[in-house]
Chains A and B, each alone.
Chain A
Amino acid sequence: MSTEKNPTLVLTDDFAPGEVNFIKVDNFKFFYGKKEALHGINLEIPSRRVTSFIGPSGCGKSTLLRNFNRMNELIPGVRHEGDITIHGTSIFDPSVEIIALRRRIGMVFQKSNPFPMSIYENIVYPLRIAGQNNRFILDETVERCLRSSALWDEVKDRLHESALGLSGGQMQRLCIARAIASKPEILLMDEPCSALDPIATAKVEELIIELKKDFTIIIVTHNMQQASRVSELTAFFYLGNLVEFDETRKIFTNPSKQQTEEYITGRFG
């Protein structure tokens, strides 16, 4: 898809994000070997908002998400064209250290992945590998992150017990707590609720809405209702193209593109 075909986001007057083009994806192409998985994506994501990426499996939404923190570079044979900037700086600039970049961009995965250690040590892990061993700072971080992830009241009396004893929903919220421990600016979530029951899902969604005050959140989800509940902006991807990007309420009430309409109303495939 050519650059000019990419949808341009026109925000309504009552939508006032912190910084409109906080994350800027500029004619971004991504290749797994010879296969082009993303075809020249252009996208501007505002800060301190929740943006959903939706689309059928294989449409490229997770591929783009994993580019924001350059996680895709762990896969052999990949390459990209175009650029992604955060706050005006290219994430591919040679001066950018990947570890530092990932400290600015937390990530939560589909399957919660607590480390086989205590709840406390899970959260302070990003700080310890950054050389932080000050007990006061570590304690403060654990409480702040557990409160932010709405887990403090449930685990405050067993901080030094294994994280593997938590329920699925609690584990996922622990992973969110760990992801925000290094005070990132951006939180990437790749289907964070797909393995959770409705109550745990509601708690994580409540958390996402709460966290957007401090973080720019991008969530990949197959759950349309979740996208419409938690996000203010939605991007619909199909076959490696960005088909439509608009305010979520517009996407789910009156999308501009027929492909979007067919996908969200369940007329696809």
Chain B
Amino acid sequence: MHSHPSRPHTLSDFTTALDQLRGSVLTMASLTKHNLQNAIQGLYERDDDSCNHSIADDEEIDLLEIQIDREGIEVMSRFQPVAKDLREVISSIKIGANIERIADQAVNIARRARKLNEHPELPELHHLDSVIKLALSMFEDATRSFAERNASLAVELKSRDKSLDNLNKDLTNELVNRMQDDSPNLPSYLNMIFISRCLERIGDHASNIAEDVVFAVRAEDIRHLGK
């Protein structure tokens, strides 16, 4: 179910402040997606420059997290939001924190990619493809569910997170086996395991974002269900 934005507040500054907060979250998501793409490009194209960009640009994302917190607190103190406005502010702040963690994972991937680039490419590198594809699509859809206030899309992300966990587990097992057969390349296999683990964490954060979107749109708390 898409929740359509309702009419603006009588006090137009309130609407402006909420729009500003929303815009900051979407900007942060967009920059993070770019950083992730740089890290993945650095990995596949063995391009240290792309990795370095991803690492350097993380600072801007950190600053945006702080900005989102500040804007959220300002909305709360100036306008005392209630109901869906309050849920949107709380969710935006929490989503900002999750995006920041995703950006940190982009930095971790970039650092591991630089290490991989120091050695010859392993044929198993492309075994990461499906993990990368699923993790990136989860983050993109989490962002889209927030942008469109699409709770159904957000709910669907939870099941994809389980698939990502399984992909990561299978790949890790495979790489551990390869380590035993190909010990000279052990550091590279280890770096690939770390990268897969980073991607699995990105799925977790995307799933957290989805939970916050469901809370903002439907006022339902779907965290820790079925555990």
> Given that A253-B219, A254-B219 are known contacts, is A265 also in contact with B8, CB under 8 Å in the complex?
no
> Given that A253-B219, A254-B219 are known contacts, is A265 also in contact with B7, CB under 8 Å in the complex?
no
Interface assignment of A162: CB less than 8 Å from any CB of chain B: no
Q: Give bound CA distance, A262 to B6, whole Å.
A: 8
Chain A nearest Cβ from B220, distance in angstroms: 9
Assess whether A253 is in contact with B9, with CB atoms less than 8 Å apart: no
Interface assignment of A184: CB less than 8 Å from any CB of chain B: no
**Range class of the A interface residue count:** 10 to 19
Interface assignment of A12: CB less than 8 Å from any CB of chain B: no
Assess whether A264 is in contact with B9, with CB atoms less than 8 Å apart: no
- Which residues of B have CB within 8 Å of A252? 82-83, 86
Which chain B residues in 1-60 approach chain A with CB under 8 Å?
A: 6-11, 14
- Which residues of A have CB within 8 Å of B85? 265
Interface assignment of B115: CB less than 8 Å from any CB of chain A: no
Candidates B9, B86, B87, B219; contact of A266 at CB < 8 Å: B9
Interface assignment of A136: CB less than 8 Å from any CB of chain B: no
Assess whether B11 is in contact with A266, with CB atoms less than 8 Å apart: yes
Chain A nearest Cβ from B176, distance in angstroms: 47
- Which residues of B have CB within 8 Å of A264? 82-83
Q: Give bound CA distance, A255 to B8, whole Å.
A: 18
- Which residues of A have CB within 8 Å of B86? 252-253
Assess whether A267 is in contact with B9, with CB atoms less than 8 Å apart: yes
- Chain B interface residue count, CB cutoff 8 Å, equals 17
Which of the listed residues A255, A258, A267 has the most CB atoms from chain B within 10 Å of its own CB? A267
Q: Give bound CA distance, A224 to B82, whole Å.
A: 9
Chain A nearest Cβ from B128, distance in angstroms: 42
Which chain B residues in 184-227 approach chain A with CB under 8 Å?
A: 219
A-B contact count (CB 8 A): 43
Task: Provide the main secondary structure of the chain A interface.
Answer: helix
Assess whether B9 is in contact with A265, with CB atoms less than 8 Å apart: yes
Assess whether B83 is in contact with A261, with CB atoms less than 8 Å apart: yes
> Given that A253-B87, A253-B219 are known contacts, is A269 also in contact with B10, CB under 8 Å in the complex?
yes
- Which residues of B have CB within 8 Å of A224? 80, 82
Q: Give bound CA distance, A269 to B10, whole Å.
A: 7
Candidates B10, B87, B219; contact of A267 at CB < 8 Å: B10
- Which residues of B have CB within 8 Å of A268? 10
- Which residues of B have CB within 8 Å of A258? 6
Q: Give bound CA distance, A225 to B79, whole Å.
A: 11
Interface assignment of A228: CB less than 8 Å from any CB of chain B: yes
Assess whether B82 is in contact with A262, with CB atoms less than 8 Å apart: no
> Given that A253-B86, A253-B87 are known contacts, is A265 also in contact with B81, CB under 8 Å in the complex?
yes
In the complex, the chain A residue whose C-beta lies closest to that of B6 is A267
In the complex, the chain B residue whose C-beta lies closest to that of A261 is B83
Assess whether B10 is in contact with A266, with CB atoms less than 8 Å apart: yes
Q: Give bound CA distance, A112 to B7, whole Å.
A: 38
Assess whether B10 is in contact with A253, with CB atoms less than 8 Å apart: no
Chain B nearest Cβ from A252, distance in angstroms: 5
Interface assignment of B162: CB less than 8 Å from any CB of chain A: no
In the complex, the chain A residue whose C-beta lies closest to that of B82 is A252
Q: Which residues of B contact A (CB under 8 A)?
A: 6-11, 14, 79-87, 219
